[in-house]
Amino acid sequence: MAERNSIQWDAVSIKLVFGLLSAVALVFLIAPTVIVLITSFTASQSLKFPPQSLSLRWYTALWDADQMQRAAWHSLVIASWTTVISVVLGTAASLAIARSRSPLLRAADLVFMSPLLLPALAFGFAALIFVNKLGFTPSISFIVLGHVIVCVPFVLRTTLAALSQLDPALLEASESLGGSAWMTFRRVTLPLISSGVGAGAFLAFMASFDNVPVSLFLADERSEVLPIHLWQQIETNLDVRTAAASGLIVMFTLVLMLIAEKFAGLTRQMR
């Protein structure tokens, strides 16, 4: 009997410990998002939480925040270009890497993935020196190129994962039926890997929209991007409009995530 009890206690205690740690971790993960959303609806001048009363005044104040709007527009344009270029080049490269055993292509894959691990700030600085040495001045085009380098790994990762699930017999069937390489890609491969590519595109877009370390060196006053604008606002004067802008970004992220989950099965792709 004592033996039986000890076994049950063993099973209960492991669930209790792991459950408690997970619960703490989940609160820890979600709390900041919830708090920033609630704070953004405050009616007062301060960022005190919980707010005394709620209002939309800081959201309406965003209408007049010209500088912030311009920065948001730059970020959208840059993130869109970055996503398009990353998806086209990344998908093409994935097709080559997925079906090859050549050590050269494996090495290339390692180089393409390295921006995920290396300090992006050091790369941003290197990019600034390079642009400067070539005699150019930083501009939006250079920001896009810099962002592609740090965002393309997301497209490669999800697309390569999708390609590894692809049955090669389908491609052989298409080829033996006389389909050209392009037609096989367009009609067979692409539809089967589209959710992998889609999830990668979404991650690349978010990574570019949120990038600070690369933009910090390549952007100037004319090409200021949203995260840097907000970062400077937070460092200098904690203005409640920053909270409203943050609230908008959180809602925008949530909506995009739900869309990505519905059409590309985001949570499945990220595993």
- Residues 222-241 binding other proteins (CB under 8 A) are 227, 230-231, 234-235, 238
Rounded Cα–Cα distance for residues 244 and 39 (Å): 8
Q: How far is it, in rounded angstroms, from Cα 113 to Cα 230?
A: 29
Q: Does the N-terminal peptide bond of residue 50 adopt cis geometry, omega within 30 degrees of 0?
A: yes
Residue pair 144/82 in contact (Cβ under 8 Å)? The answer is yes
Residues 31-50 that bind other proteins (CB under 8 A): 31-33, 35-36, 39, 47-49
Written as six digits, the tokens of 126 are: 């290197």
Q: What character string, x for contact with other proteins (CB under 8 A) and - otherwise, covers 145-164?
A: xx-xx--x------------
Answer yes or no whether residue 270 interacts with other proteins by CB under 8 A: yes
- Interacting residue with other proteins among 209, 219, 244, 264 (CB under 8 A): 209
Which of 61, 76, 77, 89 lies at the binding interface for other proteins (CB under 8 A)? 89
Residue type, 196: G
Which CB, 56 or 270, lies closer to other proteins?
270
Angstrom distances, CA of residue 261 to CA of 29, 34, 98, 154, 162: 19, 20, 25, 16, 16
Distance CA 196, CA 190 (A): 10
Q: Is 192 in the site for other proteins (CB under 8 A)?
A: no
SS3 54: strand
What is the total count of residues that contact other proteins (CB under 8 A)? 90
DSSP code at position 49: S
Residue 253 binding other proteins, by CB under 8 A = yes
Q: Which of the residues 93 through 112 are near other proteins (CB under 8 A)?
A: 93, 95-97, 99-100, 102, 105, 108, 111-112
Q: Does 180 bind other proteins (CB under 8 A)?
A: no
Q: How many residues does the chain have?
A: 271
Q: Is 266 in the site for other proteins (CB under 8 A)?
A: yes
- When binding is defined by CB under 8 A, the residue of 30, 43, 54, 56 that contacts other proteins is 30
By CB under 8 A, residue 188 contacts other proteins: no
Could you identify the residue written with the tokens 């937070």? Answer: 234
Q: Does 127 bind other proteins (CB under 8 A)?
A: yes
